[in-house]
Copies of this chain bind each other. A is one copy, B any other.
């Protein structure tokens, strides 16, 4: 695969992950600098039904997905040509080491957008910062994730 094919391939892999489908996630932007993962409000994503807000776990999940995608992108960016089989093998070794999620406001809205960027990029470990906003650009949560990439 050529570099220009890598990102769409990675995005599609994340779109197809079973739990990402449960959450309704869609990768709506993905380049070497930033990623956006979006999902619509859905009744099954609610935590406390009295408050009608997103479950904290939904927020942690989508922040982890956005951070993980940027970590993968930063790790693969040095390859000029890579076999799809090797790409998949490398994927299999990448994983989240730890993640912190900070909840800033109740998760209310019609549509939510998680974004991420890389703040430390190494050949073993990448660190990303992530944010979640709703469709009115209200800042709902942020996160910091450390990823094993090599």
Contact = CB atoms under 8 A, between A and B. Distances in A.
Contact of A61 (B61, B65, B91, B125): B61
A49 B18 contact: yes
Given A58-B19, A61-B61, A92 B50 contact: yes
B124 A104 contact: no
The copy count of this chain in the complex is 4
Nearest to A55: B19
- A interface, over-half SS: mixed
Interface residues of A, number: 54
A120 interface: yes
Contact of A62 (B43, B57, B127): B57
A98 B101 contact: yes
A119 interface: yes
Interface in A42-80: 43-51, 55-58, 60-62, 64-65, 68
Interface of A: 13, 16-23, 43-51, 55-58, 60-62, 64-65, 68, 88, 91-92, 95-104, 106, 119-120, 124-125, 127, 129, 139, 142, 144, 146, 148, 150
